[in-house]
Structure 1
Amino acid sequence: MKALSPFFLVISLFLIKQTASFAQAPLASSTVLEPKGFREVAQLRPRSTKEIKSSTWSIGGETLDRDYTDYQSYKPYLGPLGAKRIRLQGGWSKCEKVKAEGRPSQYDFAWLDAVIPDAYSRGVAPWVELSYGNPIYPGGGEAKLGGRIPTSEEGLAAWDNWVRAMVNRYKNQVTEWEIWNEPDLNKLNTGEEVAVFYIRTAKLVKSIQPNAKLIALGVAGVPATAFMRPFLDHLKKENALDLIDILTYHGYAPNPDTSYPKIEEMRQLVWSYNPKITFMQGENGAPSTASAVTIGALRQWDWTELSQAKWDLRRMLADHGRGIATNLFTISDIHYAAGDHMTGVNTKGLLKTNPDKTIERPKMAYKAAQHVFSTFDDQLELLSQSKPTVSQATVSAFQYRHRKNSGSLVTLWSAEARPAETYDPKPTDVTIQGKFNQPVFVDLVSGKVFEIPKNQWKKSGNTYTFTAIPVPDYPVLIADQSVLSLVK
């Protein structure tokens, strides 16, 4: 046998270290809920993306089009995370840097060729946003968040050429195309004007890839009625409402549980035009640092890695409990450059970055997201008509059933305020009609699984009553042990 070269040994040791470490986020013991009298019996086992057949979860992979994150640095973390989809931005201006004058357009797709096929090979399906503008063309729009859409005849023709090239190149790996991002941030982008632009682009995509799903529009505001109504009115006028398969919205709130009345208002507005449109939360997450450090949404408040993990869990499972698919924003901290909508580091990433955008380590939120993605897959059925009864008015609760073994699972959290660094759990009585052969209590931040003491639960027929269950300000579970993936 040949001796290994020093270079190969160094690389091998690095890969072994990375494999052992990237699935685990640091977790200070003082932050873990340790329910009094509950015996720890197991740990949730994160499942990789390829171990999960299907789910509604997506992870954000945004801003590669402007080089604000580094895909090559964060890609090893995608498979172990467990999200089945990733949101990417196409980046017209990064693909086409020289104006086409009297010749066919020339594109540099090398950067996307290093991303889209790789994500797909890891079992993480890319859904790609067609954006932003390209200022090399007069009236070609702006290549930044909150920028102007293409408006000139020349700019729109060049846009069409790029969209055509994108869809033809990646149609075997991309089945969902989102058209633009947060157009309502720029007041010059009217709802009617964006509708004209949307119809043009949607018809072009469909002409190349008839079975593609079309996603509109990643609106920043919720319910964004002043923008959405003229947008929908124009689509209705052009008999084009069927060009929207999925509507994505963002909208950030310091207490994520306060978001849903406005989301419901938006849903009712859109469904009054076309009740077949599916809703998806297209971008949401919390920062992990103090107000003075982060930029972007929710920067007015101080955050830590713990409160970020709590907030992300609440947004994900409040969406899921309402049957809304979720894109968790985002995989890696984002380093915005001067000249864009903002400048600085947006610390909403599940991965903490170094100044050069390489990955320093996973945060608590990475591990928390693993626990959700591994547990809430297509094997669990949401029972929207079977709400648990809880003794605390401020506790949110949703109920699920395992499709194969009928075991029950319930999510619980205190929803009255923004997630805090410290919080005294609320002792809560929970009554559930379901099936629990071996009920356990699960902390979704730490992944610890506890046996519920015999004197704190009882069964009467198919009704189970759990007493004095400690409910913190982030989701925990009461679950039949059979529905969980565990390491004992």
Structure 2
Amino acid sequence: MEQFFRLPDSDDLNRYDNNPAPLDQQFGIRPLGTLKPLSSHDIAGSIAGIGMETLDRDTYDPAPLYDPLCAAGCKWVRLQTGWIKCEKTAGVYDFAWLDAIVDNLLRRGIQPWFSTGFGHPIHTPVPAYEELFRQSGNSPANGMVRGYVGEVPLYHGPRAMAAWKNYLAAMAEHFAGRVRHYEIWNEPDVHRVFWRHLGQPVHADLKEELRRIRIAEDYVDFVKESAEALRKTLPQVKVIATISHPVSDHVRVAGIRRLADWVDIISYHNYANTPEAENCDKVAFFRSHLTVPGKTTEFWQGEAGRATRPHHGGCYITSEYVQAKYILRRLLCDFQTGMKVSSIFTASDLRSYYPDGADQEFGIFKADPVRPKLGFFAFQAMATLLAEAEPTSRMMISGNLINGNMAGSRLNYQFNSVAFLRHEVPVFALYLPESIEISVPPIRCEVKVSGELGCRFREPVLIDPLRHKVYAIDREIVKYPDWAYGSAIIAPYPVTDYPIFMTERSAIELERA
């Protein structure tokens, strides 16, 4: 088990796309040791979550992942509940398969939350699907058909909706005291895949713009009825609405129809190729449209990730190193924009996920055989560094290029910086938000750190979360000049294309040699 959790040696350059450790052999910085990660049991609160989606379609075995996810410091897991798997006989519910997952996660200090869906062969029958089930011996290779994915009970009439609400009520009663958060459906605005009737997109007779409006209106109605059924059974339930695209007609119409009146939380999905691209603006957009005056609504990032192998419709450069950088930057961006939960898609690679039966490789674990990818260790470091983190606007970190260095980016920004507190100890992160696919060598900068009492560091350290390496910063490169008005100036300071963290040595633990 110890070997299973061991980070690849940073000299194994193949795993890092031939990129050496960026902080090694930098002037004024000395290797100090290796970051000791916190487990889920050690962390009281964090935004760090991951998805264990598609278990309703039996795409992988979750059992080998429980201990690793605990070791990674994961605090939240998104589970799809699979109506088709819970009600084999009409009106008879068997949640045993879901019980096993929920209880295993709770024992390890991880809180599950449910994404409810999808259709059901008894209550929302699709003749074409039934034929595929018959031909395959009841297990179609098509992962979407296996789960009746996207088949919405709203379009199958009052009896189907009554069955759907009975299912929600039975689930809420069964999991009372264990699961409190219920998300209504998955990506309803991706209507060609996840919002369908009889296996086809709905409102096909309408022009695309009108179709999007009608679907948004239908989704609000669906959420209202679903929320009422849940709250009638479990008054303390937290209902979550979900949106895939944060800037869209769906958001605008959902806001007009006051979606937030019926829910406690709104989640969105953000698969932006570069996590920082329009990130703050996107969040501001959907918050402004969906927030209801006088009502507190939480916002979660419910699904975002990066494959390690090309996938259907994807045109990205992929590798374990690229995925790991994405995870570091996605979690930090979501913390920066005030998300209460950030859920990385997904825990494991998925077998037979796509309509043609092909696998999907967004997991931070390989499935056959099970092994952690580099993204697992990136997630682990971020869960530790963001544990009990408190946003603050009373500190900041900024960088200026020195000695003729130039950033090669053509993007409209140079640096991304984040400052926060962990148990009253300042933590800073600074990086170049370059395109994820490219590797940028470290750039030497003059960094200014501003905060309370002039940020007089006792034992400042740098942390490379991709390699878990910790470095001491020599006093000779830390200055407090008069012109900085009480701020600390660190130069030369290496900045790379993923967040490097700076804090006091006392804020972290090191692994024993």
TM-score, normalised relative to structure 1: 0.85
Aligned residue pairs total 444
**Using the alignment, how far apart are the partners of 1:233 and 1:185 within structure 2?**
20
- Structure 1 residue aligned with 2:45: 54
C-alpha contact (below 8 Å) 2:396/2:428 kept by paired residues: no
Give the superposition deviation at 1:343. Answer: 4.0
**Using the alignment, how far apart are the partners of 1:203 and 1:387 within structure 2?**
44
**Using the alignment, how far apart are the partners of 1:148 and 1:300 within structure 2?**
30
C-alpha contact (below 8 Å) 1:388/1:430 kept by paired residues: yes
Give the superposition deviation at 1:272. Answer: 5.5
Match of 1:321 among 329, 332, 336: 336
1:300 aligns with 2:315: yes
CA distance 1:452–1:344, shift in 2 (3 Å) = same
Give the superposition deviation at 1:243. Answer: 2.4
- Structure 1 residue aligned with 2:300: 280
- Structure 2 residue aligned with 1:371: 381
- Structure 2 residue aligned with 1:251: 270
- What letter is aligned with 1:360? V
**Using the alignment, how far apart are the partners of 2:151 and 2:430 within structure 1?**
40
For residues 110-131 of structure 1, what are the alpha-carbon distances to aligned partners after superposition, in whole Å with 9 as ceiling and x for unaligned? 2112111111111101111111
- What letter is aligned with 1:457? V
For residues 393-418 of structure 1, what are the alpha-carbon distances to aligned partners after superposition, in whole Å with 9 as ceiling and x for unaligned? 51111112233xx4321111111323
What SS does structure 2 have at the residue aligned with 1:411? strand
**Using the alignment, how far apart are the partners of 1:338 and 1:476 within structure 2?**
36
What SS does structure 1 have at the residue aligned with 2:163? helix
C-alpha contact (below 8 Å) 1:367/1:445 kept by paired residues: yes
- Structure 2 residue aligned with 1:264: 284
1:182 aligns with 2:182: no
- Structure 2 residue aligned with 1:407: 425
C-alpha contact (below 8 Å) 1:305/1:365 kept by paired residues: yes
- Structure 2 residue aligned with 1:383: 392
- Structure 2 residue aligned with 1:204: 229
- Structure 1 residue aligned with 2:460: 439
CA distance 1:35–1:270, shift in 2 (3 Å) = farther
- Structure 2 residue aligned with 1:361: 371
C-alpha contact (below 8 Å) 1:58/1:328 kept by paired residues: yes
**Using the alignment, how far apart are the partners of 2:151 and 2:251 within structure 1?**
18
TM-score, normalised relative to structure 2: 0.81
**Using the alignment, how far apart are the partners of 2:375 and 2:354 within structure 1?**
28
What SS does structure 2 have at the residue aligned with 1:445? coil
- Structure 2 residue aligned with 1:153: 158
Query: Could you tell which deviates more after superposition, 279-288 or 410-419?
Result: 410-419
- Structure 2 residue aligned with 1:88: 79
For residues 287-335 of structure 1, what are the alpha-carbon distances to aligned partners after superposition, in whole Å with 9 as ceiling and x for unaligned? 122x2xx347xx2112111111011101111111222231111111122
Query: Could you tell which deviates more after superposition, 48-57 or 184-193?
Result: 184-193
Match of 1:345 among 354, 359, 370: 359
- Structure 2 residue aligned with 1:4: none
- Structure 2 residue aligned with 1:70: 61
C-alpha contact (below 8 Å) 1:27/1:364 kept by paired residues: no
**Using the alignment, how far apart are the partners of 1:183 and 1:386 within structure 2?**
40
CA distance 1:477–1:131, shift in 2 (3 Å) = same
**Using the alignment, how far apart are the partners of 1:115 and 1:360 within structure 2?**
18
**Using the alignment, how far apart are the partners of 2:442 and 2:390 within structure 1?**
27
Query: Could you tell which deviates more after superposition, 19-28 or 190-199?
Result: 19-28
Match of 1:170 among 175, 193, 199: 175
What SS does structure 2 have at the residue aligned with 1:487? coil
C-alpha contact (below 8 Å) 2:153/2:161 kept by paired residues: no
What SS does structure 2 have at the residue aligned with 1:384? coil
- What letter is aligned with 2:506? S
1:194 aligns with 2:210: no
1:233 aligns with 2:256: yes
- Structure 1 residue aligned with 2:447: 430
Gaps of 5+ in 2: 14-18, 130-144, 192-200, 203-213, 402-412
C-alpha contact (below 8 Å) 2:43/2:73 kept by paired residues: yes
